Each structure stands twice: as structure tokens, then as C-alpha cells.
Amino acid sequence: MSAPDASGARLPEQYERRFEGQDESRARVWRVLIDHYFSRYLDGVGSVLDVGCGWGHFIDQVPVAERHAIDLNPAVAQRLDPAVQLHTQAANDPWPLADESLDLVFTSNFLEHLPGPEAVMDTLAEAHRCLRPGGRIVCMGPNIRVVNGTYWDFFDHVVALTERSMAEALELSGFEVESAIARFVPYTMVGKPPPPSVFIRVYLRCRPVWRLLGGQFLVVAHRPGP
């Protein structure tokens, strides 16, 4: 998760303020999410990029040979697995990656922090350029239609998104949407104790419960092949 600060100067303090003392527990939550849900998007994947990677809880733990991460926070380098190639830059600037060089682009709780819709579209354009035909993009984030005014409890939430607007942005960027889930996981872990791993596993299996507790959308799309 990066914020709309062109220099990234505020981000180390901001990350510490929100996530202090939660690093290990967040990594555990993401381990369960990867093993019991997101692994379905990792089959046959040789290269992956995490956009707005935060402290690397996703990208550090995916079993993929070539791993990239983009984040504007200069302190992220101290947190990431050294095997992850970190690109410290704004996500809506050109990525230092070749055309059609990625199998998967992943982003979680990031796009809403960009400075506006054009920045979101620029980021998606880079994802489309760098993904191979058939390559996927997986987008997760808070759904403003579900969480309503609490969306703005984070001062750096700028772009209001739902699963429908996310799907529309992806389609306008040349992707084909595979699925758009309005309610996936709960809205935020900030300031809350993480649930036990067994609870997360049960939750992921019980999709009717998502409609009660989910506050984040999950939209998956792919770049069409030739």
C-alpha cells in the first residue's frame, strides 16, 4: 500500500503508525490467504509483480521464481525478502519491466491511494503492457458501496472504488474480467487483533459468510491472448 505522496517521504512514518506491532500477525494472515485462496492464481506462474506491496506480506510468501514489487516507501527495502526485486517508484509511472514479461500482477488495498482515476488507469495500462497474453491481474480493495463513510477514515483514501468500477476500469484498459466479487474479506485489520488461522480457513470456505462480513472487493481479469 502506497499513498499519494510523490516523494514517499511520509510513508515510513505512516506505515509504522498503522501497522506497528502487526507485522508477524499480518504475515500469518497472508500465509493462510495465499495457501487457501490465492494459490489458485499461482499455478504455472513464473513471474509476479505486487503493486503497492507494503511490507511484502504477499510477495514475500508466494512460491514463484521471479518476484517483483513496486512501492514508493523507501523503507520497504528493509522488510522485503532480498530475493524480491523492489522498484521504488510511483506505480503510475512507467515500470522498468519489458513488455509481456509477467504472468501475474497482484494489488491489494492500494489503488484507492492513488491521486485520481487517471493514475489508476496509468497503473492498469502498465500492468496490461507487462503481462503476457493470458496473464492475470488480481485486484483487491475496500468497496465503498459496502463500507460507506468509513472508507474515508483513512485520510489517504482518494479514489472511491467498487467491484463494478474496478471491473469497468480493467475493461477500459483492455482486460477481460473473469470474476468480480463485491464482498470478499473484512474491510481492515488496522487496530484489530488478527483472527486465528483456523477461522480464516473456515471463512474462506463459507462464501455465504462473505456477504455478511466482507468489506473488500476482489476482481480478477486477464490480458486476452492473440
Going from the first residue of the chain to its last (226 residues), give the mean pLDDT of each consecutive group of 10, the final group possibly shorter. 49 60 82 97 97 96 97 92 97 98 98 97 98 98 96 93 98 98 89 83 96 97 92
Q: Hey, what's the cell of 186? A: 473484512
> What pLDDT is stored for residue 194 in this prediction?
78
Contacts of 43 (CB under 8 A, 6+ apart): none
Q: What is the dihedral of CA 125, 130, 136, 138, to 10 degrees?
A: -60
What was the pLDDT predicted at 1? Answer: 40
Long-range contacts of 64-67 (CB under 8 A, 24+ apart): 64/104
- Provide CB contacts within 8 A for 184, sequence distance 6+: 140, 210, 214, 216, 217, 218
| pLDDT of amino acid 8 | 58
What does the longest C-alpha to C-alpha distance in the chain come to? Answer: 47
Amino acid at 97: L
Q: Which residue ranges form the domains of the chain, and what is each CATH number?
A: 11-222 (3.40.50.150)
Q: CB neighbours of 177 closer than 8 A, spacing ≥ 6?
A: 167, 170, 171, 219, 220, 221
Amino acid at 39: S
